[in-house]
């Protein structure tokens, strides 16, 4: 968690300095992205809210994304992650939307993705997507890696 805290502190300072905000939609990171961002003193200046969108029901209830909106999309894919990031940004009125979705393990998901597969996306002044394959079945390690990579993706786009 120390690596996440350090990364979140850098992000928090950059977001505050720029007067920008972020909203989060995460899945297999289980809330670690939001927890890291909220662990920074003064987080209320940049963190507008987030959701752990772990199931299809959560996708509908928390993100207001009906089945039709995701028709033909796998839930652990770059297009789905970007849709979540854009939706989080729009719903919260944030400068940035950050999303993560994948399979933490110890097994893969029903879509054929192996444990350790995750897609992240940033939506905002710059859009970006990234797929991570850890090659590990360790759930806790994967969750940490997913959260870390999502935060790094946001940081890389803040620097543009």
The pLDDT tens digits of the residues spanning 68-116 come to 989 989 989 999 999 999 999 999 999 999 999 999 999 988 888 999 9
The pLDDT tens digits of the residues spanning 40-67 come to 999 999 999 999 999 989 999 999 998 8
CA 70/CA 125 separation, integer angstroms: 23
**CA distances for 48 relative to 23, 51, 96, 124, 140, angstroms:** 5, 11, 10, 14, 26
Upper half-sphere CA count for residue 105 (Cβ side, 13 Å): 19
The domain limits of the chain are: 2-158
CATH architecture type of domain 2-158: Alpha-Beta Complex (3.90)
Q: Is 4 left (phi over 0), alpha (psi -120 to 50) or beta?
A: alpha
pLDDT score for 29: 98
Q: Is the pLDDT at 159 greater than 70, yes or no? A: yes
């Amino acid at each position: 968690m120390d690596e996440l805290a350090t990364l979140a502190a850098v992000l928090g300072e950059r977001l505050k300095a720029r007067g920008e905000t972020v909203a989060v939609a995460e899945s297999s990171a289980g809330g670690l992205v939001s927890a890291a961002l909220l662990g920074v003193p003064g987080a209320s200046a940049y963190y507008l809210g987030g959701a752990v969108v772990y199931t299809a029901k959560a996708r509908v209830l928390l993100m207001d994304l009906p089945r039709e909106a995701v028709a033909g999309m796998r839930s652990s894919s770059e297009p789905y992650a970007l849709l979540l990031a854009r939706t989080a940004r729009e719903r919260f009125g944030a400068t940035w939307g950050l999303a993560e979705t994948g399979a933490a393990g110890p097994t893969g998901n029903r879509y054929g993705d192996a444990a350790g597969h995750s897609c992240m996306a940033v939506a905002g002044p710059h859009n970006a997507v990234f797929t991570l394959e850890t090659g590990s079945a360790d759930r806790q390690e994967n969750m940490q890696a997913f959260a870390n990579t999502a935060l790094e993706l946001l940081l890389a786009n803040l620097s543009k």
